[in-house]
Structure 1
Amino acid sequence: MQLDLNLLAALDALLEEGSVAGAAERLHVTAPAMSRSLGRIRRTTGDQILVRTGRTMTPTPYAIAVRAQVHDLLQQVRGVLAPSRELDLATLERTFTLRWHDALVTHAGPALLAAVREQAPGVRLRFLAESSVDTPELRRGEVDLAANADRPTASEIRAERVAETRHVVAVRAEHPLTRAGTVTAAHYAAADHIAVSRRGRLSSVLDGALAALGLTRRVVASAPTEGAAFAFVRNSDLLVTVPESTARPAAAELGLTLLPLPLDLPPAPVYLSWHQRYDTDPAHRWLRDLARGALTDPETAGHRPAPSEPVRESG
């Protein structure tokens, strides 16, 4: 049997008004149209629904029994087809999964979590480590929000460039380069390097920039995360080249020195990415606003009005 949801609205109106004329006026249809709907309801249910008693119509025992259920069902249908966009953060209970670059978790994760806990204590965050291979987790709904330096290319994935930062060189405080005065490209190339790569790569855009100057460097190892690379740098004369915004807090904590990178490189971008299915999800939009603030300025994240959704780059 093919269901017509219009009949549910008609039945609810008939049971509330107790008359064909009243139900017709309520739904802004003609009385003959409502009479036809009543006839269809009677054939579908096998019940008279309303019967005439003198000048009025009386609901049948079946109609009385299902009246509350019909009304509740209609409200549920309306909620599905026209969902409320109001968000009650105080009662929101939801778990969001975030796959962020490890340095971004260290840089902005604490500020994001603090803001979430302050505004919506029922919300939980799951931070996952980046995979060594590209995965379709955003498309499959396994990850709600990604943040890294890569702009996704899939058409259904939204990508917003929320921040950018220059590259710097991190070394231990007693590294020879700290006594070199101005660090030149030749000084930089002559040092031993450790690379940061979740895929284990030993070369990057840095090598191309050096090659343009007729220089090469020696990368003795790669580390999967910036935190791991800092551990190597802290106890050796290795150096690592990293984005300044994520390196500065770690460098202060570990006692590392940050030096200017003597190469002309474009700023390192930070992209916030999500699947388009969440574009109009109020809770996801709220989380994006907080994440944007944390990635842009962790010191003020969660302590300012949420910005309006900016124009996004589609990828």
Structure 2
Amino acid sequence: MSNEIPNLNLLAVFAAVMEQGSLSKAAEHLATNQSTISTALSRLKKETGKELFVRSGRGVVPTAYASNLFTQIQPSVQQLSQVFHSLKDFDPGRSTRKFVMTAPEHLQWLLLNHFENKGNKNISLEVFDQADDDETLYHGLLTQKFDVMVDILPPNHPNIESIHLFDGEFVIACRQGHPRIKGALSEAQYMSETHAVLERTRDKMRSLAHYTDIDTSKRKVAYHGKSLFNNLLMCSQSDFITVVPLSMALQFEKQLQLQVFKPPFNYKKVSNYLIWLKQLNHDPSHRWFRTELVEAAKRIETQMLNAL
């Protein structure tokens, strides 16, 4: 092993490969090519005198030495990254930047519309659907595919930060010409109707089960959808009923000619959290982006309060 401390650039490349999980993703993350990444790893291997990665299928996996090294250098590499990010200028009136995030379906258009109306058209927003399962929910954030994410549950991860944005209502929707529901809805009627439900679990619980104590398993379900909009569309063309966040119902109530009701049973509001990597806390552009999302959330919350 060389007596000199390895070049800090080599350690930064090594950390990127460990975080991204592959040489190609690390190259994309560092805005370079895979050959440069491979050369840097070869140099670090020579300086440490240790094997860092072994091939497995089409990718590579870290050795025990590499895993131990990463554990020791990660906090320092992240701290240095924060320092350099904090020195960068960001002028929202002139800068060019595309922010990328993932958000629940009921907020996607509202957030896109907020950024579409910003004065600087060189700043844009790209929104992705959320992952289908809890296990991969934070993968895009940890690999920095996304700048931030919004979720209905707070995170539990040492490298992730979050703040509470707002608590939103959820409502029950059906078509205006429903033969049995006309201007009012009782709990008994809710349980007796046929439902379109969101086929998504959080913490191994069905979505609605997080927010009420009623036995949702006794509902008659005709349609299991993975999209809130699909459920609303299905109900607008049938006698089904569905549960959606109020922010989603307000977007399509008129267009789909829906009736919207507050739940006729006890329930908890739907919380929304803004989530990001701690290492980006002091990045000027990221801080600006988070502030904008907080402002957008305040507008959404005000709109919902006025609708109740």
**TM-score, normalisation: structure 1:** 0.62
Residues 103 and 128 of structure 2 are in contact (CA less than 8 Å); yes or no, is this contact kept in structure 1? yes
1:128 Cα deviation (Å)? Answer: 0.9
1:169 Cα deviation (Å)? Answer: 0.5
Task: Provide the C-alpha distance between the structure 2 equivalents of 1:177 and 1:293, rounded to a whole number of angstroms.
Answer: 41
Q: Which residue of 1 aligns with 2:155?
A: 152
1:284 Cα deviation (Å)? Answer: 0.8
Between the aligned residues of both structures, percent identity stands at 21
Q: Structure 1 residues 2, 208: CA separation in 2 closer, same or farther (over 3 Å shift)? A: closer
Which of 75, 87, 100 is equivalent to 2:103? Answer: 100
Residues 159 and 273 of structure 1 are in contact (CA less than 8 Å); yes or no, is this contact kept in structure 2? yes
Q: Which residue of 1 aligns with 2:12?
A: none
Structure ID, larger Rg = 1
1:98 Cα deviation (Å)? Answer: 0.8
1:150 Cα deviation (Å)? Answer: 2.3
Q: Is residue 267 of structure 1 aligned with residue 259 of structure 2?
A: no
Q: Which residue of 1 aligns with 2:209?
A: 205
Which of 218, 221, 234 is equivalent to 1:219? Answer: 221
* AA at the equivalent of 1:193: H
1:85 Cα deviation (Å)? Answer: 6.1
Task: Provide the C-alpha distance between the structure 1 equivalents of 2:153 and 2:117, rounded to a whole number of angstroms.
Answer: 26
Q: Which residue of 2 aligns with 1:132?
A: 132
Aligned length: 221
Cα deviation 1:245-288 (Å, max 9, x = unaligned): 22112112221110121111110111111111111111111111
What secondary structure does 1:290 align onto?
Answer: helix
Cα deviation 1:30-88 (Å, max 9, x = unaligned): xxxxxxxxxxxxxxxxxxxxxxxxxxxxxxxxxxxxxxxxxxxxxxxxxx769536531
Residues 89 and 284 of structure 2 are in contact (CA less than 8 Å); yes or no, is this contact kept in structure 1? yes
Q: Structure 1 residues 81, 126: CA separation in 2 closer, same or farther (over 3 Å shift)? A: closer
Unaligned runs of 5+ in 2: 6-82, 304-308
Q: Which residue of 2 aligns with 1:248?
A: 250
1:229 Cα deviation (Å)? Answer: 0.8
Unaligned runs of 5+ in 1: 4-79, 302-315
Residues 161 and 275 of structure 2 are in contact (CA less than 8 Å); yes or no, is this contact kept in structure 1? yes
Task: Provide the C-alpha distance between the structure 1 equivalents of 2:4 and 2:235, rounded to a whole number of angstroms.
Answer: 69
Task: Provide the C-alpha distance between the structure 2 equivalents of 1:190 and 1:265, rounded to a whole number of angstroms.
Answer: 19
